[in-house]
Amino acid sequence: MVVHDSVAAASSSIGLSTRVPYPPESPVVKVDGRPESIELRDIRKNEDGASTSQHAIVTTTEAQDAEGSGAAAPESEVDPRLLNRKLQIHFATMCSALFLAGWNDGTTGPLLPRIQEVYHVNFTLVSLIFVFNCLGFLLAAGANVALTDRLGFGWVMAIGAIAQVIGYVIEATAPPFPAFVLGYFVNGFGLALQDAGANSYVSSFSGGTETKMGIMHAVYGGCAFCSPLIATQFAEQRHWSYHYLTSLGVATINLVAQCTVLRFRTQDECLAELGQTQNEDSGNGGGKYKQIFRLRALHLLALFIFIYVGIEVTVGGWIVTYVQDVRSGGPSVGYISSGFFGGLMLGRVLLLWVNKLVGERYVIFLYIFLTIGLEFIVWFVPSLIGGAVAVSFVGLFLGPIYPIVMNHSGRILPPWLLTGCIGWIAGFGQAGSAFLPFLTGLLANKQGIKTLQPLLVSMMGFLLCLWAIVPNHSRRID
């Protein structure tokens, strides 16, 4: 009691006429309609020593940040093992989309001679499947940013999966050639949407992005390795188009996975579920498009991936026809396409240590030089077995390039535009998987399929020049 009276006396002697309430009053939130503001009472002394009390609006940015982070507050209470398990499930779902992409790209090569035989079309006409595939890719690449802003990441992935299901339903019935080609257009649209979404989503993961990119694209290569083995069997059967029923089964599983795991949510919501932060948004609509397409590095990277994917699918799609016509191979040479995609898969996993040892920037030059040398072997050495082995090694050294470029994109492009940029690079790059095979068909129709190797070597040389002028560091964006 004596202590209390002493404190009270001291307080009155220094002019504190307003006593601090006990217990303290709770701060009043939402002052003047501002939810981020907290009303505190500011107690100051006037010139006479008497106290004056006035209200002060103090904006606490710390509280605002904590409140605005959503899942950040309870993140410490969530079991890290649970978050890691969710991360693995989401990553596996993205791998499912790339699995289907690999299945699709590995199918065409072994079936191409049979498609020509059934529909009685030459190289130019059969190449229309690549043209309409390309149109689907380009449509998806242009619409991806707008669709993602309007509908959200989860919906776009679901739409892409549905489109691929529809495409395979059309192709499995072996309809008239115009309808068959239309199936490739629908399929290309869905494939490009999912490829862009999966790459942009995985690139947004925090930690281990390089390894995850390598694994995801190894899944693509692994499936592209398996599908020619199955397609070759169907190519020799009467009901060759039933192969697309197996593709339909894979596409249906992928559709269920996308809808079940992502649940039609935005990318930010999916990342928040994983306890990860999101990149700042740069706005949406025309403003985002304007910022994205003003980036010089973006166009260089997109063109590089356009040529790279075109080379990749041209080798996998036309090498069977090349070996049959130029090297007099039989129907079983369809397995060479599997060897190429098998090398692609292994390269994306086994060469990870080489990428780190040499450096991702410089190792691409090494890989391209090696693939050019191997293509010269396929071109000039008249050996069926030697050519098949060389094609497999071409896949091995081409394999790591795609994930390396995606990792490099994340380092040099603005983080607030990264999702849209990766989406455009991946979507536009997929168009290359249709354009270069179509160009190959045009040349083959006029000069023969022997033009395949000169075209591939020249495109690989072009890749070297492009990579030399791709920026190595990010630049300031005003």
Digit-coded pLDDT (tens) for 114-131? 899 999 998 888 888 888
Separation CA 158–CA 161 (nearest Å): 5
Residue ending a domain, among 277, 296, 320, is: 277
* Domain co-membership, 473 together with 371: yes
Say whether pLDDT at 223 is over 80: yes
256: in domain:
yes
pLDDT of residue 278: 62
Say whether pLDDT at 347 is over 60: yes
131: in domain:
yes
Residue ending a domain, among 277, 301, 329, is: 277
pLDDT of residue 476: 56
Residue ending a domain, among 277, 307, 334, is: 277
Mean pLDDT in residue range 402-413: 88
- Residue 25's alpha-carbon distances to 29, 34, 42, 232, in angstroms, are 12, 20, 13, 78
Answer for the pair 340, 395: CB distance below 8 angstroms, yes or no: yes
* Domain co-membership, 272 together with 314: no
Mean pLDDT in residue range 382-394: 91
* Domain co-membership, 457 together with 381: yes
155: in domain:
yes
Residue 209 domain boundaries: 80-277
Least trusted range by pLDDT, from 208-217, 284-293, 460-469:
284-293
Say whether pLDDT at 32 is over 70: no
Digit-coded pLDDT (tens) for 290-339? 888 889 999 999 999 999 999 998 998 888 888 888 887 776 777 788 88
* Domain co-membership, 265 together with 160: yes
Find the CATH number of the domain harbouring 270: 1.20.1250.20
Q: What amino acid occupies position 415?
A: P
214: in domain:
yes
51: in domain:
no
* Domain co-membership, 147 together with 231: yes
The number of domains in the chain is 2
* Domain co-membership, 236 together with 294: no
50: in domain:
no
* Domain co-membership, 226 together with 326: no
Res. 51 pLDDT band, cuts 50 70 90: very low
Res. 164 pLDDT band, cuts 50 70 90: very high
Q: What amino acid occupies position 71?
A: A
Res. 94 pLDDT band, cuts 50 70 90: very high
Task: Identify the residue with better confidence: 27 or 267.
Answer: 267
Whose tokens are 């004056």? That residue is: 52
Least trusted range by pLDDT, from 46-60, 236-250, 275-289, 417-431:
46-60
pLDDT of residue 131: 84
Say whether pLDDT at 262 is over 90: yes
DSSP 204-236: TSSS-HHHHHHHHHHHHHHHHHHHHHHHHHHHT
60: in domain:
no
Answer for the pair 268, 434: CB distance below 8 angstroms, yes or no: no
In 3D space, the residue among 136, 156, 137 whose CA is nearest the CA of residue 145 turns out to be 156
Say whether pLDDT at 427 is over 70: yes
pLDDT of residue 154: 93
Q: How far apart are the first and last CA of the chain?
A: 66
Strands across the sheet containing 34-45: 28-31, 34-45, 51-59
3-state secondary structure of 164: helix
Say whether pLDDT at 195 is over 50: yes
Separation CA 263–CA 278 (nearest Å): 18
Torsion of CA 456, 461, 463, 464, to 10 degrees: 150
Mean pLDDT in residue range 206-220: 84
Mean pLDDT in residue range 217-237: 85
* Domain co-membership, 123 together with 210: yes
Query: Is this model's pTM higher than 0.75 or not?
Result: no
Query: CA-based diameter of the chain, in Å?
Result: 110
Whose tokens are 């995850």? That residue is: 212
* Domain co-membership, 379 together with 441: yes
Within 10 A of 35 (CB to CB), how many other CB atoms are there? Answer: 10
Res. 474 pLDDT band, cuts 50 70 90: low
Query: What's the mean per-residue pLDDT of the chain?
Result: 81
* Domain co-membership, 129 together with 210: yes
Mean pLDDT in residue range 141-162: 90
Number of H helices, E strands in the chain: 20, 3
* Domain co-membership, 150 together with 247: yes
5: in domain:
no
